[in-house]
Structure 1
Amino acid sequence: MNGHPIFPDLAGASVFITGGGSGIGAALTEGFLQQGARVAFVQRSDAGAFCDEMEKTTGSRPLFIPCDITDIERLRAAIAKAAAAHGPVRALVNNAANDQRHATLDISEEFWDGSIAVNLKPYFFAAQAVIPSMRETGGGAIINMSSISYMMADQGYAPYITSNAGITGLTRTLAREFGPDGIRVNAVLPGMVVTARQLENWLTPASMAAHLDRQCLKKTLRPADMVGGVLFLASEASAAMTAQALVLDGGVVTTG
């Protein structure tokens, strides 16, 4: 993952990423490590091999903290552990999500609650956990990974789409409330990013071709394509930018 601009202010910065060991999250972890940041991340599955790979390729080892982000107390504890190891979190990237497909008429209350518990609730409580120290240190950046799915009137995963609309609202209200403290809050809305999970579960050559046809840029988006925008939002290069939804979709939708 080479070719990203260097943001000198990210060197040594304490960065916390949810879901930072696979898919887009893994690309973000690598991207921040290449900036010289001190990265901690959480996810449920073991990420030891990934950490070994990052240490070999970037010269720095991320701090992996096993955590189910639906357990808010464990999430808070993980953030505290990261801060103890790397210093107060300066950049939080809320990335972990589950876009499981499900027919709307088959969705149970349990499934709905479980989806919100993964895709929206931890975003709020992770932000709540880092804001006090950001206030004390004079500011910070929160980047919430959302999706263009709710802007497209997409279908097949209503709880996930609803969560992404909520993430944008959460982003804007937090930006308004904590802007006076120097805390910037922005959202990144990826388009169709091809990951191993997407290929295994949902994407087909036909669906990929159809979506690519809708893009202005005729390139298949990969996790690495999301890194530059997130680094920009975490750095002082975007010091005047907050409450925004940055769409990285190859040109499918617009925030208007």
Structure 2
Amino acid sequence: MNPGTTNYPSLKGRSVFVTGGGSGIGAAIVSSFAAQGARVAFIDIAEEPSRRLAQDIAEAGHSAPWWRVCDVRDVAALQTAVTDAAAALGDFAVLVNNVASDDRHTLESVTPAYYEERMAINERPAFFAIQAAVPGMKRLGFGSIVNLGSTGWQGKGSGYPCYSVAKSSVNGLTRGLAKSLGQDRIRINTVSPGWVMTERQIALWLDAEGEKELARNQCLPDKLKPQDIANMVLFLAADDGAMCTAHEFTVDAGWV
């Protein structure tokens, strides 16, 4: 684990909930909050990576996270997880809507059932996780919600039109809730990653042509890592980002 280099005292002891936290960007986010001394809960559909992550965090000397295997397509299970985790850790001051799946598909291959399934993973969970977490934030008198977007649709990426539809809606969710939530000092922002070199991305998509695409499009020569995204999420979650709301923060090495 590489939890980043900045210390945010305001995060110590705060309860944080992360969707899709078992691997990739989500795991970096979970690990980073744990290293800040936060009380972290996460859900993920993959049991073994989640178990290893929790063990790694505990072995690093941090409080072991609360976690549960959860399929976010099941809204009742998602909201129950938020409620149960809050009962164990306290009302959540931070919610990170990270869960996503960028499976490739073509326009011609999409059926109504497949479209609904893509939205059930990539769009719907953020709304209903917010719905479940906001009452606790209102009790606290403050909160920070971070929705993970994407630069893929902004750069006119191809091969995942349903994913593009879902991820383009994240900014609408963020901006559409910012005013009403802000009255209770609940901030909501979007963090949009570029092409992050998770294990999955490297295994499935990074080939010689992909390397050329990175060199051609990024302003910076270094590859994005999950920790780069986690660092922005931490800032927005902490009191340091106290007057940031309703905005998109892009971490893409200058691609878009």
- Shorter chain as normaliser: what TM range? over 0.9
- Asked whether 1:34 is paired with 2:29, we answer no
Root mean square deviation of aligned Cα: 1.0
Find the partner of 1:56 among 25, 37, 59: 59
Aligned residues with identical type, % of pairs: 40
The answer for the alignment partner of 1:213 in structure 2 is: 216
Q: How far off its partner does 1:3 sit?
A: 3.9
Q: Distance in 1 between matches of 2:41 and 2:212?
A: 36
| TM-score scaled by length of structure 1 | 0.96
The answer for the alignment partner of 1:70 in structure 2 is: 73
| TM-score scaled by length of structure 2 | 0.96
- Asked whether 1:229 is paired with 2:229, we answer no
The answer for the alignment partner of 2:46 in structure 1 is: 45
The answer for the alignment partner of 1:143 in structure 2 is: 146
| Amino acid paired to 1:56 | E
Q: Distance in 2 between matches of 1:189 and 1:203?
A: 20
The answer for the alignment partner of 1:93 in structure 2 is: 96
CA contact (8 A) 1:40 1:63 kept: yes
Unaligned runs of 5+ residues in structure 2 are none
CA contact (8 A) 1:212 1:219 kept: no
The answer for the alignment partner of 1:246 in structure 2 is: 249
Unaligned runs of 5+ residues in structure 1 are none
Where 1:124 maps in the other structure, the secondary structure is: helix
Q: Distance in 1 between matches of 2:54 and 2:91?
A: 21
Deviations 1:124-159 (A, max 9, x none): 000011111111210100000010012112211001
Q: Distance in 2 between matches of 1:174 and 1:128?
A: 11
Q: How far off its partner does 1:201 sit?
A: 1.9
- Asked whether 1:200 is paired with 2:188, we answer no
| Amino acid paired to 2:35 | Q
CA contact (8 A) 2:4 2:32 kept: no
Where 1:36 maps in the other structure, the secondary structure is: coil
| Amino acid paired to 1:140 | G
Q: Distance in 2 between matches of 1:39 and 1:2?
A: 14
Structure 1 runs of 4+ off > 3 angstroms?
none
CA contact (8 A) 2:153 2:168 kept: yes
Q: How far off its partner does 1:189 sit?
A: 0.3
Q: How far off its partner does 1:63 sit?
A: 0.9
- Asked whether 1:16 is paired with 2:21, we answer no
Q: How far off its partner does 1:203 sit?
A: 2.0
Deviations 1:59-114 (A, max 9, x none): 32111111101101001110011101110011000001000000111111111110
